[in-house]
Structure 1
Amino acid sequence: MKQIHLRVNEEIYNKIKNEVKIKKTTMQEYIIKTIGKDLTIKESPANYNVRPEKYKFKFIDLFAGIGGTRLGFESAGGKCVFTCEWDKYCQITYEKNFGDKPFGDIRLVDVKVIPPYDILVAGFPCQPFSLAGVSKKNSLGRPTGFLDKTQGTLFFEVARILKGYIDENTGETKKPKAFLLENVKNLVTHDKGRTFNIIKNTLNELGYKIFYKVIDAVDYVPQHRERIFIVGFNKEIYGKNIQFDFPEKPDIPEPTLKDILDDSVDAKYTLSDKLWNYLQEYAKKHKAKGNGFGYGLADINSHSRTLSARYHKDGSEILIPQKGKNPRKLTPRECARLMGFHDDFKIEVSNTQAYHQFGNSVVVPVIEAIAGQIVEVMDNERLNNNLRNNLQKVL
């Protein structure tokens, strides 16, 4: 990334400042976008390290978070050639673990400058569609789904990149062979299914055959966590009869919460008497009203509730019982394990940011399993094409 220092007179400065205020952006983003239009380019992606050295396919990682999806696709033999994530703290964690600082604003990404790749993966923002997100926005009288101007419409940025572009030299359409999108389960039912229908129709119109399924991560990690996964294949390459099956339940021992817990944990993770009393009274109040709201005291021989991005506030959805003491919160490292991250994954942000990041992340083993299925279909189709071509030569 190169830097340019500009000196402008007061009149130009005030005009830029006014435009930034109107467009609700930053000076840097406004200037990059404005200059980019004149030069018919946008900011170029960074050069990424070769990880791993040998790879079967290339992929790009959009709305990358801290890289859970990248880990899953690397395990399937992929090399990440471009990443986009605008949260500055997620960028820190991502760079610490992968050596790459993600591109920031997806709206400034020019599809023509993304390096050649095979698979697009994206966990586009889920707050406009999640049960918690919809409930909060409704209470504030704010729009949800595609009416949410700050996040909901970002799906169409993914669609813009999936659409690709026509190579001016060859006339060939440059677009990915396949994709994986991830979101909250509630996406399917949001706005009586209309939101999801828009997404499906958009992907179909772009020339992809799609498959989708809600998968509970409880078969992979000791956490009840349902997410929808949408897989698509380019019909120009694979035809409209391409078939895909999501992974079956893994043949592994049932994961339990005690498997991811540390033997010794700092006392600071134990709830104070004040907070523990508050959570108990809060639960009693809602139980009397017939509501199910309240803390979750976990069974360490089973699985936990869903880890959320708000876990840092009080840890109430997953509390670990302690003999003779108040229950405690999970540590950030335990949260990482609950999401399927190995212990060599670096956590160098504050506990508050770490909780937020893991609560928003994907479950890595689920991504690994789906990535493996996608790559298997692509490999099989490649082998079938080679066989057909060789047969034609013989005949």
Structure 2
Amino acid sequence: MTGAIRSSTAPQALEFFAGIGLARLGLEEAGFHVAWSNDIDPKKCQMYRNHFGSVPDHTLVEGDMSELKGSDLPRDISVAWGSSPCTDISLAGTRAGLNGKQSSAFWQYIRLLEEMGDDMPPVAVLENVTGLATSHSGEDMAAAVRAFNRLGYSVDALSIDARRFVPQSRPRLFLIGLKNPPKGSQSDSPLRPDWLQQVFADASLRMHKAVLPAPPEPLMSGFGMYVEEMPSDDSRWWDEDRLEAFLGSLSAVQAERVEKLKNNPSVSYRTAYRRTRNGKSTWEVRADDVSGCLRTARGGSSRQAVVRLGEGTSAVRWMTPKEYAALMGASHYNLDGLRTNQALFGFGDAVAVPVVAWLAEHYLAPALRGTLDEPVFAGCSQSEAHSAMEGELA
């Protein structure tokens, strides 16, 4: 069960494409209450119920959102959150874009918001892979912004990597639609890199750049602290034959890297992906103490391995559900009774909790309060910045 405090005074949120509920965890951490959620995947909904249980002030609707109507949604909602499917946009997908079979669910999200009419929430968010910005030469992202514009939202665009909060490289794109955008504009932010500027330069789109505090710097290490400890004789470590095949597949550069870490007097951990190079299956080990982007466990190439090196030894195994959860900022997620692939799929297809919490605290909540135009101090929350300003004026 989630430990979030529920309050009728908390801003209410809708959670579209809810998956296993990680957006809900982030929103609730920032003081929001998620009143309604929907997902089409029964296995993800099972994980959702397994963790959150059943509470009287929340509804989880399992099924195709195309069968829903705007009148089915609760009212008095402040935020609509949508983490729409990225299968047709991501590098691992078909690149069919927003009109692909799965990613086209975005248009159902827009339809339901429109059908809410005067009850449409003042804030609407779309979270997706950064590939949306370049899909069909940027046309898909422009189409998404126009869709929000037609509903009366001005749109901001941010790229936030989970690596700013947890040791996992996981960049994601966020479109934040506001009915009442701030008057101020931020000229420069690490969350709006150069490759995002094309959409801001499109004069046909209604865009804004909210003034935000500086986000945490990307982590350069820390994965080793998230590794699930297990003895050397645990059956999950690969046997000698499989270990030798792993080491034998490494390129000369990779092999040198692994050998150097193996001979260190202290133990360290790295992650590895299986790749196909020139028609041959090979393994590639990351050079840094950071996890690669977690993905859905649909095949061996998408599943990440953990490599333990040091004290003259080496060992390899698959990453565990506990490690997936921790790297998504959900260490306390209830994994009881779940099959491994079910858990890996659920977390690999989700948004990192601390990213949502940061965005909700520093952007969504101030937008609802009408304080996005207030000065902010780097690294401070809006409330801390307000207190600092009061101190300076005292």
Q: Structure 1, residues 365-391: CA drift from partner, whole Å, max 9, x if none? A: 01100011210222235999xxxxxxx
Structure 1, unpaired ranges of 5+ = 1-48, 136-143, 167-172, 385-395
Query: What is aligned with 1:319?
Result: 306
Does residue 129 (structure 1) correspond to residue 89 (structure 2)? The answer is: yes
Alignment match, 1:309: 296
Please identify, of 265-274 and 111-120, the stretch whose mean Cα deviation from structure 2 is larger. Answer: 265-274
Q: Distance in 1 between matches of 2:336 and 2:166?
A: 20
What is the CA–CA distance in structure 2 between the aligned matches of 1:288 and 1:359, rounded to whole Å? 21
- Helix, strand or coil: the match of 1:134? coil
Q: Distance in 1 between matches of 2:276 and 2:182?
A: 57
- The answer (yes or no) to whether the contact 2:69–2:115 under 8 Å persists in 1 is no
The alpha-carbon deviation at position 200 of structure 1 amounts to 1.3
**Amino acid of the structure 2 residue aligned with 1:205:** R
The one-letter code matched in structure 2 to 1:224 is S
Residues 219, 249 of structure 1: 8 Å contact kept: yes
Q: How does 1:159-174 map to 2 (within 5 A)?
A: 159-166=110-117, 173-174=118-119
1:365 and 2:354 equivalent? yes
**Counterpart in the other structure of 1:146:** 98
Residue in structure 2 matching 1:186, options 131, 139, 153: 131
Moved more, 289-298 or 121-130: 289-298
CA 1:234 to 1:52, structure 2 compared with 1: closer, same or farther past 3 Å? same
2:194 matched residue in structure 1: none
Kindly indicate whether residue 285 of structure 2 is the aligned counterpart of residue 297 of structure 1. Answer: yes
Aligned mate of 1:82, from 36, 41, 46: 36
Once the two structures are TM-superposed, the CA of residue 131 in structure 1 deviates from its matched residue by 0.6
Write out aligned runs for 1:20-59 (5 A): 52-54=5-7, 55-59=9-13
Q: Does 1:271 align with 2:238?
A: yes
Q: State the distance in 2 between where 1:151 and 1:271 align.
A: 36
Helix, strand or coil for the counterpart of 2:154?
Answer: strand
Cα offset, 1:160, TM superposition: 0.9
What percent of counterpart residues are identical?
Answer: 23
Match of 1:12 in 2: none
Aligned to 2:255: none
Question: d(CA) in 1 for partners of 2:149 and 2:97?
Answer: 20
Confirm whether residue 244 of structure 1 aligns to residue 210 of structure 2: yes
Equivalents in 2 of 1:312, 1:332: separation in Å?
Answer: 16
SS in 1 for 2:294: coil
Looking at structure 1, the residues matched to 152 and 3 of structure 2 have their Cα atoms a distance apart, in angstroms, of 30
Q: Which amino acid aligns with 1:115?
A: P
After superposition, the C-alpha distances for 1:295-337 in whole angstroms (9 at most, x for unaligned) are: 34356x7211111112773675442224534312221111100
| Alpha-carbon distance between aligned partners in 2 of 1:233 and 1:110, rounded to the nearest angstrom | 22
- Tell whether 2:222 aligns with 1:256: yes
1:204 CA drift (Å): 1.2
Mapping of residues 315-354 of structure 1, within 5 Å: 317-323=304-310, 324-354=313-343
Partner Cα distance (2:156, 2:275) in 1: 40
Residue 115, structure 1, aligned to residue 83, structure 2: no
Preserved contact between residue 298 and residue 318 of structure 1 (Cα < 8 Å)? no
In the alignment, the residues of structure 2 paired with residue 241 and residue 306 of structure 1 have an alpha-carbon distance, to the nearest angstrom, of 29
Q: Give how far 1:183 is off.
A: 0.6
**1:348 deviation in Å?**
3.0
**Unaligned regions of 5+ residues in structure 2, if any?**
55-59, 184-205, 253-273, 375-394
Q: 1:290 to 1:382 in 2, by over 3 A?
A: closer
Of Structure 1 and Structure 2, which has the larger fraction of its residues in helix? 1
Distance of 2:81 and 2:280 partners within structure 1: 35
Q: CA RMSD in A?
A: 3.4
Give the 3 Å change call, closer, same or farther, for CA 161–277 of structure 1 in structure 2.
farther
SS in 2 for 1:120: strand
Find the counterpart in structure 1 of residue 269 from structure 2: none
Question: 1:124, 1:183 within 8 Å by CA — same for their partners in 2?
Answer: yes
SS of the residue aligned with 1:355? helix
Deviation at 1:104?
1.6
* Distance in structure 1 (CA, Å) of the matches to 2:24 and 2:275: 42
Q: What is the TM-score with the length of structure 2 in the denominator?
A: 0.71
| Displacement after TM superposition at 1:96 (Å) | 1.5
- Pick closer, same or farther for the CA change 1:291–1:118 going to 2, 3 Å: farther
